[in-house]
Amino acid sequence: MHDPFQISKSPPSIEKQPEDQPTNKAPHSSVTLIYEANVAEFNRNVIVTWNKSLINYSLTISVENLSNENHYTCKIDLKTWQFWGRKGLKSFPVDGGKVDVYWDFRRAKFSSNPEPSSDYYVALVYEEEVVLMLGDSKKDAYRRTKKRPSMFEPILLCKKENVYGKKIFCTKAMLHLGNEEHREHDIVIEMSSGLGDPELWISIDSFEVTHVKNLHWRFRGNEKVIMNNVVIDIFWDVHDWLFGSPASQTSGHGLFIFKPGELDYQPDSDTNRNRNTNRNRNTSRNGNNVLFEDKLGLGYDSSSEIWTPSSGFFHVVYAWKLE
């Protein structure tokens, strides 16, 4: 049911970038989101990928084929848009039926991130239902398609992106904190440079939640943090930052995974007073011995670097260091 997805590249999605965040030589970038939606009477993975480079800009939507690995795919070319091309309709077959893709980007706002930030919609329609809606202009989409929302609410399983920087990396993730389930939270990853043993800091909404010292020995590990009564499993692997061979523009990438979960106990009052932030210091940081599947509930194929979600939402960040 849950299909693997390949590594792709995406720039930071935070509005204000740090001073050392390079913006003038951003590589090919992309953001991949995997949803579970009911299409053609079955729950299927729908993979949405926004791709952007100096010569290409596109949106690709792939719907899972339950009988083989050849997904049903629709690609929308965004680079060659004229104004009249920013609103359109495409159709593609799924199991003998037809999925219609409606989009409207005429008033869309964009940033350095390939995914539009606001004022747009992309609607997938199968028969009489909108099975998946992207963007915030939902009323316009329903008015145009004249279709009802699906009885089965789509579920976002995963968001994966690549970010670039020298020592500071910024992104946003939906961590389901408190009542703001659909709000994205700012994540900042920073590694020290210079003499001495490097250190790693991870902050969520300006609150430091993870500080790793002796990074040469603890380059791979995981930790649980608690924010607003939500447990967040954080996994990091910065081996390539420290020991990888320098490439032409990058010196390897760090892997970070953020997976929100549920408390299995009631935090004490001290935790609640400190913005509900706490660390489970008993969580193992045993370097190469970290069990990805056990700690994060993920399936991992080490031979091809493929991740598949096994339970709940998770956010994957590949942080590429630019020299």
pLDDT tens figures, 94-142: 999 999 999 999 999 988 788 998 999 999 999 999 999 999 999 999 9
Q: How many CB atoms lie within 10 A of CB 251?
A: 16
Query: Which among 100, 143, 136, 101 is positioned nearest to 121, based on CA atoms?
Result: 136
In this model, does residue 184 exceed pLDDT 70? yes
- Residue that has been written with the tokens 């999605």 in this structure: 13
- The pLDDT score that the predictor gives to residue 230 is 84
> Cα–Cα distance between 126 and 105 in angstroms, integer?
21
Strand, coil or helix: 294: helix
pLDDT tens, residue by residue, 243-293: 876 654 556 789 999 998 866 544 444 433 333 334 333 333 333 333 343
Tell me if residue 30 falls in helix, strand or coil: strand
Q: Work out the number of other CB atoms within 10 angstroms of the CB of residue 268.
A: 9
Smallest Cα–Cα separation from 185: which of 144, 234, 151? 234
pLDDT at 285: 34
**Nearest 5°: phi and psi at 228?**
50, 45
φ, ψ of residue 243 to 5 degrees: the values are -125, 0
Quick check: 204 pLDDT over 90? yes
Joined together, the tokens standing for residue 217 give 């020995």
pLDDT at site 90: 95
The residue with tokens 């935790």 is: 271
pTM of the model: 0.74
Q: Average pLDDT of 288-313?
A: 44
Three-state DSSP class for residue 15:
coil
Residue 252 phi/psi, 5° resolution?
Answer: 90, 170
Task: Report pLDDT for 277.
Answer: 38
Q: Which helix (H) or strand (E) holds 242?
A: helix 239-243
Tokens of 212: 């790793």
Helix (H) / strand (E) containing 273: helix 269-273
Task: Choose between 45 and 297: higher pLDDT.
Answer: 45
The Cα-based distances of 145 to 94, 125, 142, 262 in angstroms read 19, 8, 5, 37
| Averaged pLDDT, 193-213 | 89
Residues in the chain: 323
Cα 162 to Cα 114: distance, rounded to the nearest angstrom: 11
CB 62 within 8 A of CB 4: no
Rounded Cα distance between 268 and 261, Å, is 18
Higher pLDDT, 178 or 203: 203
